[in-house]
Structure 1
Amino acid sequence: MTVHLHRHDLPDGLTLGPVVAVDTETMGLDPRRDRLCLVQLSSGNGDAHLVQIARGQTQAPNLCAMLADPGTIKLFHFARFDIAAIYAAFGVVTQPVWCTKIASRMVRTFTDRHGLKYLLQDMVGVDVSKQQQTSDWGAPDLTPAQMDYAASDVLYLHRLKAELEKRLAREGRTDLAQACFDFLPTRARLDLMGWEEPNDIFHH
């Protein structure tokens, strides 16, 4: 595994294939308040690219071009949050997307454990540490432990997607899952406008 750290944007000319695993780290859990600090990406080849975002930064042309590219599927775990954080920072709509958390909820209805750590253990046989999850991602210099943690959130998503696709097909829910994925960018923008729980417009 190689972890590449980039400041402010992806380097020119970098291509990560037709399906790119993406994750974010922020200062907190409210994308309207808590700034985007890091975007992690992987092509699934065992390497990770980390893009450190500076406070007040509003542009990342290469990163945003990839996120908006209609020919590149962006693969997330809990895409709803990450899409919102990216939109709040850069105003770019990330699409098309695929979300392992939604897929898990649709096919693993026998459990309420849909966190990435549980999914990787159960479906991929990989144990990742979550020790750095609540560390200070706004620090100017990331520690090696932070970088390893950030990378682990994207390195195995392609393998997880493949396993979840099998179960979606088995249960006849592939098309329904895709419809949910297609709606996620809109769902994220509604969240940013204040229509998240308990004000969700889809609630009674």
Structure 2
Amino acid sequence: MTIHHHRGDLPEDFDWSDARDNCVAVDSETLGLNPVRDRLCVVQLSLGDGDAHLVQLAKGEYEAPRLKALLADQSVTKIFHYARFDVAVMKAYLGVDTAPIYCTKIASKLTRTYTDRHGLKDLVRESVSVDLSKQQQSSDWGADELTDAQKAYAASDVLYLHDAKLWLDERLKREGREELAQSCFDFLPKRADLDLMGWGETDIFAHS
């Protein structure tokens, strides 16, 4: 595994055309869990080749044209775990509508109905037999310099998403829930819009 650290954007020679299964795994690190308040600091990606690319974004510097082009590229699927948050924060700070999307957390909830543990750590442990460390989850991602531990943590959040997706796809197919999952994925950009517009805690489908 190699971790590539970039500042401000993906490098000019970054080519995602050979991404495994035409998918790119994506995650983000922010200063908190409120996409309006807590700024985007790092976007990490993996093409499914065992390497990770970390794009560190300084406060107020969100041009990143190559990163935005990848997120908006309709020809490549972006794999997230809990895409609802990441898609919202990408739109809030990068101004980009990310699509198409695959969310391993939604797929987990549609298939692993025998458990209520749908975090990435639990999913990866069951699907890929890897025990992820979450020690750096609450560290300061806005620092000028990322530590080696932070880089390793950020990379681990994307390195196993391709394999987890394959594992989940088999179960979605087995249970006849592929179409349902796809409908949920397709709705995610609108769900993110609702979060950004103030309906984050409101179930607009509820009776009351």
Normalised by the size of structure 1, how large is the TM-score? 0.98
Give 1:125's aligned amino acid: S
Is 1:202 matched up with 2:205? Answer: yes
Deviations 1:32-60 (A, max 9, x none): 00000000000111000000011012311
Unpaired runs of at least 5, structure 2: none
Identity %: 64
Q: Distance in 1 between matches of 2:180 and 2:139?
A: 36
Unpaired runs of at least 5, structure 1: none
Give 2:124's aligned amino acid: L
Is 1:141 matched up with 2:145? Answer: yes
Give 1:32's aligned amino acid: V
Q: Partner residue of 1:112? A: 116
Please report how far the alpha carbon of residue 202 of structure 1 lies from its aligned counterpart in structure 2 after TM superposition: 2.1
Structure 1 segments of 4 or more deviating over 3 A? none
Q: Partner residue of 1:66? A: 70
Q: Distance in 1 between matches of 2:119 and 2:130?
A: 13
1:42-191 equivalent positions in 2, closer than 5 A: 42-191=46-195
Q: Partner residue of 2:11? A: 11
Please report how far the alpha carbon of residue 196 of structure 1 lies from its aligned counterpart in structure 2 after TM superposition: 1.1
Q: Distance in 2 between matches of 1:29 and 1:59?
A: 22
Q: Distance in 2 between matches of 1:180 and 1:171?
A: 16
Please report how far the alpha carbon of residue 203 of structure 1 lies from its aligned counterpart in structure 2 after TM superposition: 2.5
Do the aligned partners of 2:6 and 2:55 also contact (CA within 8 Å) in 1? Answer: yes
Coordinate RMSD, CA, aligned: 0.7
Please report how far the alpha carbon of residue 176 of structure 1 lies from its aligned counterpart in structure 2 after TM superposition: 0.6
Q: Partner residue of 1:34? A: 38
Deviations 1:145-171 (A, max 9, x none): 000000000000000000000000000
Aligned residues: 203
| SS at structure 1 position matched to 2:199 | coil
Do the aligned partners of 2:8 and 2:62 also contact (CA within 8 Å) in 1? Answer: no
Normalised by the size of structure 2, how large is the TM-score? 0.96
